[in-house]
Amino acid sequence: MSPPVAVVTMLAVVILVSAASRRLPLPAPLVLTVVGVIASFLPGVPDFELSPELVLIVFLPPLLYAAALNTSLIDFRRNVRPIALLSVGLVIVNTAVVGLVVWWLLPVPAAAAFALGAVVAPPDAVAATAIARRVGMPRRLMSILQGESLVNDATALVALRSAIAAGSITVWEVGLDFLITAVGGIAVGVVVAVLTGRLRFYVKDEVTDTAISIVTPFVSYLVAEEFHWSGVLAVVITGLLLSHKSHLMQSASSRVHEKTNWATFEFILENTVFLLIGLQVVRIVEAAGASELPARDIVVACVAVPLTVIVVRPIWVFPATYLPRLIPAVRAKDPFPPWTHPAAVSWAGMRGVVTLAAAFILPPETPHREVLILIALIVVAVTLLVQGSTLPWVLRHLRLGGPDPAEDALQAASVQQRAAAAGLARLEEVVTDSDRTEVVDRVRRRSSELSEAMWERLGSSDETPSRAYARLRVSTIAAEREKLIELRNEGLVPDDILRDVMHTIDVEETVLDLHDTWGGEQRDEALTAPASHAGCEHIRSLDGTPKPTSPDGCEKCLAEGTDWVHLRLCMTCGYVGCCDSSPNRHASGHYSETDHTVIRSFEPGEAWRWCYADEVLG
């Protein structure tokens, strides 16, 4: 099989397996790894070598950049303490503990043992977040895992370089090298983000803008590495800053193009790397089989190291979660979370492609290098197969679901309503007597339509006016497209003109599809199924609205000094609590304590009510 045919075949397998895994209870990264392992034993399958240069230069920068583009800088700063404790503290602890275990079990120098510790230290959040999105996980835990994955690779690679050079440097030099590497990488990231942002501000062509975006992570990474600084941190900082400022430097169409292209790029890269992990098995096992070490020692190490990696994470995560909150100032801003939160984070420690790539960085003269690489492969395989396959079960039994669909829809409708109000207020400021009344009315109507459509979805299980409009408009667009194709086939109109008109109606249909399927079918069912309150005695029996006990905000949040997202009013006693998307969920907690079944929104312009007992929105 020639190299081009092999590459195309591999990409085809990635696409087919990823598509098939959507119908399976297992996530795509796990399935692709297993497929790669099986394929590695088949005759005729070419040897795809996962070289460090391929991963660290071709795969890692764009994957980190794509993750950074989808990470909120505000959430990252809000969770900087747990992210730092995981991405720096836990990586260092893992490096030390695994290094001691390997040094004790195998006749290798301490430097090589600690180098392996650094290799297996950083979890790969691609698999964890893919599973979490599928089965549901609280938003803050997702933010923490994503933030950890953005930074921990930098810590691990610095620790690896330090371990390799351990014979000639001191502990103080390691710390200084880490500081210089981190600061330098951050500085490069900021500079690249500023320069790229200014360049893209003047680029109005969507294709050129997207091309610049694709090149950016490679530039940031290579510039930082040229100075021997952290290319990983440079890419992360560049992505975070450009994403945060995208509304200032890009047009709306450029943002849509960039998001679509990066989604495709990320899909291909992240799924390909997991297939490549599986394809390494035969070559690594054969190399380790030729080792001079006794097979018993190799087996013991291959069992002990993955077990150590799995056990060390919860031992670190639980104290790192609760000990800082013993400080009153920290606890006031961030109260103790339930034990289920650190438990979920503890089990989301799957290793991935960076671990294998880092293993191949070990110098050729490293004693028993082939065995150390095998151990790294076993760590990746065990964590992916054991933790990856059981994480959905763990999340379900911990009762950690994702954000409530109804609450998300209510927030989206509220936010859209506020945005529409701001737009209408601006319209009143800019409209002049020379503007035609029908034009102003049309602008006013279009500005309100999306907000009204979101509220419509919350009020009835029947087809809403906006849904009906979308259905009818899609049908008319289909007829328009058929006519355009007919004109094209007859050759009556120049092709470029037809393409422009086709693009116009394609854009409109895309907007209708996005609007019609906002949040997915499951979310619509979750919203519309309980929408009617005809059968809810609790809501029907309400008589008036009680006086709020805390009109300025959530009663407990005000006492604790914490923040909330939206407010809810208890229709029995007037208690004001925060919603389920708020960190402390005081409204639901009030129901658990008092059994007061009905709440209503305490937000301006909202009058909906919710019954906890019957799970009915009214």
Query: 14-51 pLDDT, tens per residue?
Result: 899 888 887 776 777 778 888 888 888 888 777 777 77
Q: Inform me whether the pLDDT recorded for 438 exceeds 50.
A: yes
Task: State pTM to two decimals.
Answer: 0.74
Is residue 130 very low, low, confident or very high in pLDDT (cuts 50, 70, 90)?
low
Is residue 522 very low, low, confident or very high in pLDDT (cuts 50, 70, 90)?
very low
DSSP collapsed to 3 states, 255-319 = HHHHHHHHHHHHHHHHHHHHHHHHHCHHHHHHHHHCCCCCHHHHHHHHHHHHHHHHHHHHHHHHH
Q: Inform me whether the pLDDT recorded for 517 exceeds 60.
A: no
Domain boundaries, the chain: 3-397, 405-528, 537-617
Higher-pLDDT residue of 575 and 504 is 575
Q: What is the predicted pLDDT for the residue at 602?
A: 84
Query: 387-396 pLDDT, tens per residue?
Result: 888 888 888 8
Mean pLDDT of 587-603: 89
Could you tell me which CATH class the domain 3-397 is placed in? Answer: mainly alpha
Buried-exposed string 30-43: b where 16+ CB fall within 10 A, e elsewhere: bbbbbbbbebbeee
Q: Are 123 and 106 in contact (CB under 8 A)?
A: no
Q: Does domain 537-617 correspond to CATH entry 3.40.109.10?
A: no
Q: Inform me whether the pLDDT recorded for 542 exceeds 50.
A: yes
Q: Inform me whether the pLDDT recorded for 191 exceeds 90.
A: yes
Query: 70-101 pLDDT, tens per residue?
Result: 888 888 888 899 999 998 999 999 999 999 99
Query: 206-227 pLDDT, tens per residue?
Result: 889 999 999 999 999 999 999 9
CA distance 347 to 400: 13
Q: What is the predicted pLDDT for the residue at 533?
A: 45
Per the prediction, the chain carries an average pLDDT of 82
Q: What is the predicted pLDDT for the residue at 1?
A: 63
Is residue 69 very low, low, confident or very high in pLDDT (cuts 50, 70, 90)?
confident
Q: Which residues contact 348 (CB under 8 A, 6 or more apart)?
A: 123, 125, 128, 131, 132, 145, 387, 391
Higher-pLDDT residue of 411 and 601 is 601
> What is the CB neighbour count within 10 angstroms for residue 330?
13
Query: In which order are the strands placed within the sheet that holds 616-617?
Result: 576-578, 567-570, 598-601, 609-611, 616-617
Mean pLDDT of 527-544: 61
Mean pLDDT of 189-204: 92
Q: Inform me whether the pLDDT recorded for 519 exceeds 50.
A: no
What angle separates helix 231-244 from helix 171-201, to the nearest 10 degrees? Answer: 40
Q: What is the predicted pLDDT for the residue at 211?
A: 92
Q: What is the predicted pLDDT for the residue at 527?
A: 40
